[in-house]
Amino acid sequence: MNFTIPYCVFWNATERDWSDEGCAIVKSTNGNQTFCQCEHLTSFSVLFAKEDISTEILDIITYVGLGVSICCLVVFLFIEYLVWGAVVKSNLSLYRHTSIVNIATFLLLGDISFLASEDGIGETMCFTLTVCKHLFFLIMFSWMMCLSVMLVHQLIFVFSPLRKRVFMFFSSIVGYVCPILIVGCSYMYSKYTEKEYFNNKTCWLVFERLLEGSIHAFLLPVAGVIMTNVFSLIVVIVTLVKSSAPEGDDKEAIKGIIKVVILLTPVFGLTWIIGFALLILDSGNPMFAVANYAFTILNSFQGLFLFITGCFADKKVRDEVLKLIMSKTTGNDGTVTSKTNTKDK
């Protein structure tokens, strides 16, 4: 009882939910008693939280991070549109940029759907946003897997390059068709078993217990993608160690490994591993708060990391952006255009 927090509430028949409006605790909990005072007559109850559910700081981090991510993703997609013709001259570049553009697009749509999911928006809208988030995030993870598998294929089968038609066909199946089937089947299963597909307060999937609840139609596919991407990252690192640095040049090899991990971790969505740790850790564990903040920061700012990885860390994209900037600030003859030149003319 020392670790619970009481809430005096009444049943709001109109909203079909508990509400604390007009109700308050008039005396602190004394042993096993809680004294409430309400200004109206209806059905009353005392709700107990196992811990402090206030997460104002995490909410601020989430909204700031998602705002920054959305802006970065919009800028990134605009840059990709401008430099697309110049950076996809080889099949490998086409595969990579196609995957990253899909990842960025559906991460952007998922973030927007998340921000739009406010409490009290209505059941139909809440259901629509739940389906959108479920679908958009699954498509995002599916394209992450397409990118990682393509990278491993290119590393292992150096002399058997992946044909464009084959990549686009299988990527479309994995990236679009499979997520649509997963979302559709999970909804139909919920209807068939007469279980809730979504939570009307959170506008997200339902967790009942282990392997029960619609949330597993998201968790299990994401877990499979993350395992595949971890394996891909290990293959990349092992290949890099074997082929890049000569004997005695361990420093360069370490630098290369660190660079690969930093660049591929956000693109492969490996920061979501912390989310699975949150499902395992007990809320009383000191590491739970650390993991909670780490998960919130890393994944709300994922759009920023993707922008840095796909734009600033890509030399071809960086060079093309610089060319575009220089072409806007200089004339065809190489002289800088200015208002003075216009006046002289």
Its domain, for residue 157, covers: 56-327
* 338 within domain boundaries: no
**Is there a single domain that holds both residue 247 and residue 275?**
yes
Work out the mean pLDDT of the chain and round it to a whole number.
Answer: 84
Residue 269 to residues 29, 100, 229, Cα–Cα distance (Å): 45, 12, 8
Cα–Cα distance between 308 and 71 in angstroms, integer? 13
Distances (CA, A) of 59 to 21, 54, 56, 129, 292: 23, 9, 5, 19, 12
Average pLDDT over residues 110-133: 90
**333 within some domain:** no
Q: Are residues 260 and 179 in the same domain?
A: yes
Phi/psi of residue 33, nearest 5 degrees: -120, 140
Rounded Cα distance, 73 and 135, in Å: 18
Both 131 and 44 in a single domain? no
Instruction: Pinpoint the alpha helices (H) of the chain.
Output: 56-87, 91-116, 123-156, 164-172, 178-192, 216-243, 250-267, 273-280, 286-300, 302-307, 315-329, 339-344
Least confident of 41-45, 101-105, 170-174: 41-45
Q: Are residues 246 and 166 in the same domain?
A: yes
In the chain, the amino acid numbered 197 is Y
How confident is the model at residue 250, as a pLDDT?
Answer: 56
CATH number for the domain spanning 242: value is 1.20.1070.10
Q: How far is CA 78 from the centre of its chain?
A: 20
141 and 116 co-located in one domain = yes
42 within 8 A of 23, measured Cβ to Cβ: no
pLDDT digits (tens, 9 = 90+) for 253-273: 566 666 767 778 888 888 899
Give the torsion sign (CA, 60, 66, 69, 75): negative
Whether pTM > 0.75 for this model: the answer is yes
The band of 252, judged by pLDDT with boundaries at 50, 70 and 90, is low
Q: Distance between CA atoms of 345 and 342, rounded to whole angstroms?
A: 5
Check whether residue 174 and residue 228 sit in a common domain.
yes
Confirm if 147 and 98 have CB atoms less than 8 A apart: no
Alpha-carbon distance values, 143 to 84, 109, 266 (Å): 18, 14, 13
| Contact by Cβ (8 Å): 268, 148 | yes
Whether residue 54 is predicted with pLDDT greater than 70 in this model: the reply is no
Q: Are residues 27 and 61 in the same domain?
A: no
Q: Both 246 and 116 in a single domain?
A: yes
Q: What is the mean pLDDT of residues 209-226?
A: 90
User: How many domains does the structure of the chain reveal?
Assistant: 2
210 pLDDT band, cuts 50/70/90, is confident
**pLDDT at residue 177, rounded to an integer:** 97
d(CA 129, CA 115): 10
Domain identity same for 158 and 220? yes
Please tell me the distance from the alpha carbon of residue 241 to that of residue 235, in angstroms, as a whole number.
10
Query: pLDDT grade, residue 78 (50/70/90)?
Result: very high
pLDDT value of residue 4 = 63
DSSP secondary structure letter of residue 173? I
- Do 34 and 13 belong to one domain? yes
Domain assignment present for 335: no
pLDDT value of position 337: 47
CB 113 within 8 A of CB 129: yes
| Confidence check: pLDDT of 129 > 50 | yes
User: Is 50 exceeded by the pLDDT of residue 109?
Assistant: yes
Q: Which two tokens stand for residue 111?
A: 């973030």
Same domain membership, residue 249 and residue 127: yes
